[in-house]
Every structure is written in C-alpha cells, then in structure tokens.
Amino acid sequence: MSTITPFLWFDGRAEEAMNFYVSVFKDAKVLNIRRAGAGPQAPVVSATFELQGQRFMALNAGPLFSFTPAISFFVSVETQQEVDELWEKLRAGGGTEERCGWLKDRFGLSWQVIPTALGRMLGDKDQGRAQRVMEAMLKMNKIDMTGLQQAYDG
C-alpha cells in the first residue's frame, strides 16, 4: 500500500520544528532523526515524526523555499477547549493569527483549527442559517463556537 507523507522544508530548524509539533499534539512522537555526522549534537539533515497518526518528514535544506498559506494543515476538533488549546500552542513563540480559523506558527507553516460543528452548520439545508454562520466565521480569527451557534440560531 502506498502512502502520502507531507514533506516539510525548513531553513536549519527542522529538529526544533519537529520537537515543537510533537509537544503541541497529544498523540505525537518522533520516529527517527538523521544527522550529518555522529552524535546527538550533529546537525539534523532529516527527521520523521507523527502527529495524530499522520506521518511527516522534515528536512533542513536552507532558505531557498518557504511556506505559504497555499498549503495548510486542517485540524478537526470537537470542542471550544480544543480550539483554544491548539490555537494558543500553535501560535506560541511568534505565530500569527489569520482569518477564519487559520494561523501561521513561528516556522511560517499555516494551520486551520476548525470545530466539526462549523461544517455541520455550513451544510445546513436552511440556507439562511448557513449564510449567517458563514458571515460570522468570516469576521473571526480563532473560531468561536458560541458565536457560530448564535449566528446559526438567528
């Protein structure tokens, strides 16, 4: 069976980024690290890690390329507490807020922290409800489930 693994290019910060992401998510682990030389102080060339069952590869490859919001990682959560916790952790150390549940972490990688309720509300057969939720969401940075529910209820 073939798999698809996101491959992330960092400018000398692959190990720092991997350790950061592994600290953010509860179900996360480092799978392997390849170093340019012997010993734990040798620079990392590449690393493989897992977040919530999804494998990632990280590469130290210099400043030639950087991340853009054209690629982001969508994190589906159930509760406002999960939204708040992940939002704050991913923003820690210099991340920036974006609109509609998007943020950039301190490495420039874009994330969407989205409660499952949003998709349910946007897909409601009552177009008025769905439109009110869309309008409310477009005004938010971090998604506020209470605000979405109020818009949904009219």
**pLDDT tens-digit series, residues 119-149:** 999 999 999 999 999 999 999 999 999 999 9
pLDDT in tens, 71-121: 999 999 999 999 999 999 999 999 999 999 999 999 999 999 999 999 999
Q: Do 78 and 131 fall into the same domain?
A: yes
Domain presence at residue 2: no
Q: Do 83 and 114 fall into the same domain?
A: yes
Q: Do 27 and 95 fall into the same domain?
A: no
E strands, the chain, are 7-10, 28-35, 44-51, 54-60, 72-77, 96-97, 102-104, 110-115
Q: Do 79 and 48 fall into the same domain?
A: no
Please say if the pLDDT value at position 2 is more than 90: no
Stated pTM of the model: 0.93
Q: Do 149 and 86 fall into the same domain?
A: yes
Q: Do 135 and 79 fall into the same domain?
A: yes
Contact (CB, 8 A) for 34 and 45: yes
Is 78 exposed, middle or buried, given 0-12, 13-18 or 19+ CB atoms closer than 10 A?
A: exposed
Which domain covers residue 32, as residue numbers? 7-60
